[in-house]
Amino acid sequence: MEKIVNNKVKLLVSFISTIVILFFLFKILGGFNVERIQSYFTIPVIFISLIIYLLIKITNTYRYNLLFNQKEFFKSINILFFSNFMLTVIPFRLGEISYIRLFKKHYNINYSKGIQNLIFLRICDYITICTLMLISFVFMIYLENFEILKNDYILPILGVFVLGCSILIVLFVIEIKIGLNSKFINRILSYISNIKKTPNKFHLVILSFIYWFLRFFLGIYLFWAVGINLSFFSLFFISTLMILISLIPIQTIAGFGIFEGTWTTAFLIFGVNSNNILDIVLAVHLLGLINIILFGIISYVILHTLIQNKSDRTY
């Protein structure tokens, strides 16, 4: 009973946070022109974004099948469609649980193994994202002839990231060399030791880079489609920062409010004209949700049918 009440409280807090953030954003920046937002929803944009989204999920399915040692592609991709839907819609990143539960339900993989695999994949994701962020930052500086460094906000942002990484490295060195008794660090080190035992590590790393490149490319395409005039590497760099911010457990319903606030702030920092910027960001958010919701609903029906038929090889 207490758990149900806590979940309802979280949903209520998330809903109120979404409304409050959006209200103040539109009050400060103006906008919310429904006709303008609708104008971005063209058939070519929706179709191309659907193709890219499918490529993302196909790549991710191969990642999960390698990690969980499974070969059934159709069932796995539907698990990922639905889990991604849950992760996107449910606040506070509680949707992560759906990955573990569905692999347990459909592949009989115990929760301990599921959690270990998911943690390994998330560590791999974080390393991949940080690597792509640094690469995109270098190319962004080089191709724009160092003009971006004149922006007062860029160096502090990079400095915070480098400082955070440095602190983690120092803590690990202290733990290894001195033997500092830290439960958190010990737990991370145990996960890293488990990574060494994980098969197909090289293939997983390659697929992770392909997967995240496609994810960032989808966002870049959508922002280009709605008229954001920034270079590929600038948008790529901003995308990596936005993903790292989204990892914070504080999350609203479907990311509304936080998505608009962080992306709008980033674009203003990078010199994008503030006229209609909030409508543009909201349109991209909605365009990105179309495929997630569509395939999330379809996958729910398919997975529910598989359970009802009590057959793992219906398709």
pLDDT of 242:
87
Please tell me which residue, 300 or 186, carries the higher pLDDT value: 300
Instruction: Calculate the dihedral angle through the C-alpha atoms of 252, 253, 259, 261, rounding to the nearest 10 degrees.
Output: -50
First to last CA, the chain: 39
Q: What is d(CA 197, CA 268) in angstroms, rounded to the nearest whole number?
A: 45
pLDDT, one tens digit per residue, over 287-297 is 999 999 999 99
Phi, psi of 69 (to 5 degrees): 55, 50
Top mean pLDDT of 31-35, 86-90, 211-215 is at 211-215
What single string gives the DSSP state of each residue in 265-315? HHHHHTT---TTHHHHHHHHHHHHHHHHHHHHHHHHHHHHHHHHHT-TT--
Q: What is the pLDDT of residue 9?
A: 63
Check whether 315 has a pLDDT greater than 50: no
Estimate to the nearest angstrom the gap between the alpha carbon of 248 and the chain centroid: 11
Most confident of 10-19, 58-67, 93-102, 130-139: 58-67
Q: How far apart are CA 271 and CA 232, in angstroms?
A: 15
The CA radius of gyration of the chain, in Å to the nearest whole number, is 21
pLDDT, the chain, mean? 79
Specify the pLDDT at position 218: 96
pLDDT (tens digit per residue) in 208-225: 999 999 999 999 999 999
Q: What is the pTM of this model?
A: 0.81
Task: Provide mean pLDDT across the span 189-216.
Answer: 79
Instruction: List, for residues 48-59, the tens digit of each pLDDT value.
Output: 999 999 999 999
What's residue 314's pLDDT? 46
Q: Residue 152 has what pLDDT?
A: 60
Closest by CA position to 298, among listed 9, 32, 65, 77: 77
**Higher-pLDDT residue of 165, 139:** 139
pLDDT over 70 (residue 157): no
Q: What is the mean pLDDT of residues 54-71?
A: 93
147 torsion bin: left (phi>0), alpha (psi -120 to 50), beta (else): alpha
Contact in structure between 149 and 155 (CB atoms under 8 Å): yes
Instruction: Render pLDDT for 249-280 as a digit per residue (tens, 0 to 9).
Output: 566 777 788 888 889 888 988 888 878 888 89
